[in-house]
Structure 1
Amino acid sequence: MNMPLNTSANINDPIAQARFNMIEQQIRPWDVLDSDVLDLLAVVRREEFVPQAYRGMAFMDMEIPLLGNAEEALRQGHCMLAPKIEARLLQDLQVQPTDRVLEIGAGSGYMAALLAHRAERVVSLEIVPELAQMARENLRRAGIQNADVRQADGALDAIPDGPFDVIVLSGSVAEVPQALLALLREGGRLAAIVGTDPVMRATFVRRTGERFETTQPWDTLAPRLVNFPEPSRFTF
């Protein structure tokens, strides 16, 4: 399914050149060295998952708003994560062709498209109706048939499709949600960005029997996913 990264054939195509620059100047220097992941980023057209008003920002090292006012969209977490974060999560999860994947926060559907190229099946939950519809349309236009976008709250709604081999939170939380860990099957992996601004870490949890092994290999920041628990704030 993946295609080799070919720069010489696309050198006169400004979009292809911008995509190449994103991969070589943003993503590869961020320790994303898996050739399959890098090739996939060249195949899945990120710009087609970006709203028309922001398409010129598709390959920039930044979060891209998806709904309405840009400042409000970023504050509400209605945005695409920076490309290097999506790529590093994808690499570090080591998604396999037999994996069933759950994503919390579909956004525009781009991460679901990347996951679908590597996994057997992807279920992506999106709490905002407009974004759920946007993600479905983008995936349909991209010819992705093994990703299902559902309007649902990943923090509060029951998720009947488990267990999963991989769970991805496409946004940040204050702590790893225990209810999602329970949906991991043996050997399953969960990825989330955990912490509170200005200190957050990419957090990976692997299930081995009833044990959950956690690693936090890199720092980053990401907008909040709504309705997940926040730490108590005491007033003196």
Structure 2
Amino acid sequence: MNTVDWPAQRCNMVEHQLRARGVRDRAVLDAMLRVPREAFVPEAVRESAYQDSPLPIAAGQTISQPYIVAFMIEALGLQGGEWVLEIGAGSGYAAAVLSEIAAEVYTVERIEELAAGAAQTIRSLGIRNVQVRCGDGTLGWPEHAPYQAIVVAAGGPEVPESLQTQLQIGGRLVIPVGGDPTSQGLIRITRISETQFDGEDIADVRFVPLIGAQGWGKPSSDKWPQSRNLPFNAMVDRK
């Protein structure tokens, strides 16, 4: 039986998908080298874990292509030691990459199946500085604010006010925004003062819609999940 050389695939990804396309932040490149992306994708597509495209994960969602993950994290300008908020945990891969740079990572996922799976994978890898919450990501995670950096892995019609208020002065928020739920511009917002924010367009992107009270609205089919932090063993509390 053939055995996949995962470290070699990670090296190839970093050299040909990231560095060759302009990602230069050494901390980001090193983090992408260390985190096993294959652990965050389903068994059926595991051999494609390092291909240059999104891949399907549970609940009909996708994991972003490696370049987009690296590009967005680099855009945060992390120096190391920050508190970072991620909206849209998905399988937990980006949170794991962030954990290699930041002091603490707080990630919010609205789909319980994904939140539980992300927490379980993260803990199985021995990562201890990531906390996962299931709930409305557009409202952020105010208990741990302010954050030095916030990254959003879904596209909203505008920047949620809750996320802006939870950003530390001098901090950066990277988020896809656009009037079309399937096509957005990636913008980086820097908080200048209590009331002043500076924004810049950095890329054209296509993300899933940001669903929530300050996004594209609540899901139409399912009852909105009550926000809850996933305990250490990654089991969802269904009281």
TM-score range, shorter chain: 0.7 to 0.9
2:29 match? 38
From 181, 184, 191, the equivalent of 1:200 is 184
Partner of 2:83: 100
**CA distance in structure 1 between the aligned counterparts of 2:141 and 2:96, rounded to whole angstroms:** 23
- Secondary structure at the aligned position of 1:149 is classed as strand
In the aligned structure 2, how far is the partner of 1:140 from the partner of 1:129? 17
CA distances 1:153-185 after superposition (whole Å, capped 9, x unpaired)? 112576322111111101222221122101111
Residue matched to 2:13:
22
Q: Does 1:219 align with 2:204?
A: yes
Q: Deviations over 1:91-144 (max 9, x none)?
A: 111223331111111111111111111111111111111111111111111111
Using the TM superposition, give the Cα deviation of residue 190 of structure 1 relative to its aligned residue in structure 2, in angstroms: 0.5
Name the structure 1 match of 2:122: 139
Displacement after TM superposition at 1:199 (Å): 4.5
TM-score by length of 2: 0.82
CA shift for structure 1 position 16: 2.4
Q: 1:15 Cα deviation (Å)?
A: 2.3
TM-score of the two chains, using structure 1 as the length reference: 0.83
Question: 2:156 touches 2:176 (CA, 8 Å); kept in 1?
Answer: yes
Amino acid at match of 2:112: P
Q: What is the CA-CA distance between 1:90 and the residue it aligns to?
A: 0.9
Calculate the aligned-residue CA RMSD, in Å: 2.1
Point out where structure 2 has 5 or more consecutive residues left out of the alignment.
Answer: 218-239
In the alignment, the residues of structure 1 paired with residue 145 and residue 139 of structure 2 have an alpha-carbon distance, to the nearest angstrom, of 15
Where does structure 1 lack aligned partners over 5 or more consecutive residues? 1-11, 232-236
State whether structure 2 residue 133 is matched by structure 1 residue 150: yes
CA contact (8 A) 1:95 1:115 kept: no
Instruction: State the SS of the aligned residue for 1:107.
Output: coil
Give how far 1:202 is off: 1.6
Q: 1:33 to 1:156 in 2, by over 3 A?
A: closer
Kindly state the Cα deviation for residue 230 of structure 1 after the two structures are TM-superposed. 4.4
Aligned mates of 2:192, 2:170 — CA distance in 1: 6
CA distance in 2: counterparts of 1:182 and 1:82, whole angstroms: 29
* Cross-structure match for 1:81: 64
Query: Percent of aligned positions with the same letter in both sequences?
Result: 35
| Letter matched to residue 119 of structure 1 | A
Residues 14-56 of structure 1: CA deviation (Å, up to 9, x unaligned):
3223222222222223311122211211111111111212212
